[in-house]
Amino acid sequence: MIRRTIMTGAAAAALFAGSLGAAGAQDTILLGAAAPQTGPLAGGATVTHWPAVRLWVQQTNEDGGLQVGDQQMTIELVEYDDQTNPQQAIQAAQRMATQDEVDFMVAPYSTGLNLAAAPIFAQLGYPMITGTAVTDQQPALAAQFPNMFFVLGRTSVMAEDTAQLLVDMRERGDLGDRVALVNVADAFGIEMAGISKAILEENGFEIVYETSYPLGTQDLAPVIDGARAAEADAFIAWSYPGDTFALTDQAIVQNFAPQVFFTAVATAFPAYQERFGDQIEGVLGMGGVNADDPAFQEFAQAHMEMAGQAPDYWASAATYAALEILGQAIEGAGTTDRAAVLEYLQDQSHEYATILGPVNFNENNDNERYWTVGQWQDGVFRGVASQGRDGVTEVETFDGWN
């Protein structure tokens, strides 16, 4: 399960390393990464996390590495599989710090593993810039772990934006009052469903069908049948990948076509489009990107070439951006000294140029500009709601499975 990848893609970098290597000075930055390669979240990490991490390392090295002070340093990536196990994630972080003596670490994949690894990152003094952690605990976490930063956004805001989208659509006359609200029965699903329910009810929506199903369930015909029998105008599912696919599949089979069809995680995955083709026109999901932004398109192109698969339309870019931020902080601090880099990151006046657009962190180490809801439009998953991002597209009514 242990793999050490030395990225020597560019001839320039190799030449450079060769010419300076003899001088004895450190000319590489060792970057440690532990995330799922097996276990329940391996599927998501393979789509979102690993290709983005490897791509950033490869591209940075192809450009000659990072300019640290007066030295040009390439990056060597050390990979571990945390088996989607919080305990393994902690051990891997410890091992990377003490055995491999890595200079910096990539934050793990998913909210849960990031929360599990946060104390050890803090204890070891490594900056932790998360690209796939969405929570509402940013202020508390940042107070407890001042080394922890958040790029992807806040859960409550995402649930709020989703609910708000329904409110707007109803005002436009595109949507009725009846909402079916379902969720996967884990911390994520329960929290998101709770927040969106409160907002929907506040705005006079009627929750006509509400249910949860156990994690890992893929036999969801009864859920879709229930929502259909309740004559819901909007279907909101706070779902994970397997169930996102299964719910969509069943909705198509039973021809359940409400005015709004929303599924959460994996709706933005390229595999979702591969599976359902143009039937998903108008389907709403969590996340989104500015698909017309040349920076994103360039990233998607490079991602395709390196990994043989497209990035997802949400957290792939955030994972990549988290590393861009780390790189810029190292260059800005002009040293690989972790304390100095952390200090640079904590300075709220610094802004980072990323493929998401400019990012800066507030007093809660929180990025306040991010995508919240997206929609499949003409074969592209476009952001239809965001916090402070450009390129928001108007939301369309879902007019049935084609």
Partner 1 sequence: MFILITGLLLGGTYALIALGLNLQYGVARIMNLANGEMLVAGGFAAFWFYTAGQINPVVGLIVIAPVAFVVNWLLYRIMLQPLVTRAKSRGALEVDSILATFGMSFAFVGIMTWAFGGGYFNYAFLAQPVEIFSSSYAQNRVVAFVLAVVIGGALWLWLTFTRTGLKLRAVSVNPAAAPLVGVDVRAASALAFALGGAVTATGGALVSMFFTLDASVGVLFTMKALIIIIMGGVGDIRGTIVAAVILGIAETAVARLIDPGLTLAAAYLLFLLVLLFRPQGLFGKARG
Token code pair at residue 23: 């001088």
Indicate the residue among 253 and 339 with the shorter CB distance to partner 1: 253
Contact segment (CB under 8 A) with partner 1 among 30-38, 60-68, 124-132, 155-163 equals: 30-38
**How many residues comprise the chain?**
402
Indicate the residue among 135 and 248 with the shorter CB distance to partner 1: 248
Indicate the residue among 174 and 249 with the shorter CB distance to partner 1: 249
237 binds partner 1 (CB under 8 A): no
198 binds partner 1 (CB under 8 A): no
As a whole number of angstroms, the distance between CA 179 and CA 193 comes to 12
As a whole number of angstroms, the distance between CA 306 and CA 185 comes to 36
Closest distance between partner 1 and the C-beta of residue 17, in Å?
29
Angle between helices 294-307 and 50-62 (to 10 degrees): 100
Question: Looking at this protein, which amino acid is placed at residue 141?
Answer: L
Q: Distance of CA 195 to CAs 181, 268, 301, 374, Å?
A: 11, 21, 36, 19
Work out which of 6, 124, 221, 257 binds partner 1, going by CB under 8 A. 221
339 binds partner 1 (CB under 8 A): no
As a whole number of angstroms, the distance between CA 108 and CA 382 comes to 26
Bridging pattern class, strands 178-184 and 206-213 = parallel
Convert residues 113-152 into a mask of x (bound to partner 1 by CB under 8 A) and - (unbound).
----------------------------------------
33 binds partner 1 (CB under 8 A): no
Closest distance between partner 1 and the C-beta of residue 275, in Å?
5
CB-count exposure of residue 230 (10 Å: 0-12, 13-18, 19+): middle
222 binds partner 1 (CB under 8 A): yes
Q: What are phi and psi of 140, to 5 degrees?
A: -65, -45
Work out which of 219, 298, 337, 399 binds partner 1, going by CB under 8 A. 219
Work out which of 6, 9, 14, 43 binds partner 1, going by CB under 8 A. 43
Indicate the residue among 48 and 135 with the shorter CB distance to partner 1: 48
Angle between helices 187-202 and 155-171 (to 10 degrees): 40
Contact segment (CB under 8 A) with partner 1 among 55-63, 72-80, 85-93, 273-281 equals: 273-281
As a whole number of angstroms, the distance between CA 259 and CA 396 comes to 10
CB-count exposure of residue 171 (10 Å: 0-12, 13-18, 19+): exposed
Indicate the residue among 79 and 103 with the shorter CB distance to partner 1: 79
The label of the residue with tokens 């320039």 reads 12
* Residues engaged in binding partner 1 (CB under 8 A): 1, 36-40, 42-43, 45-47, 84, 182, 185, 211-214, 216-223, 225-226, 241-242, 245-246, 249-250, 252-255, 266, 269, 271, 275-277, 309
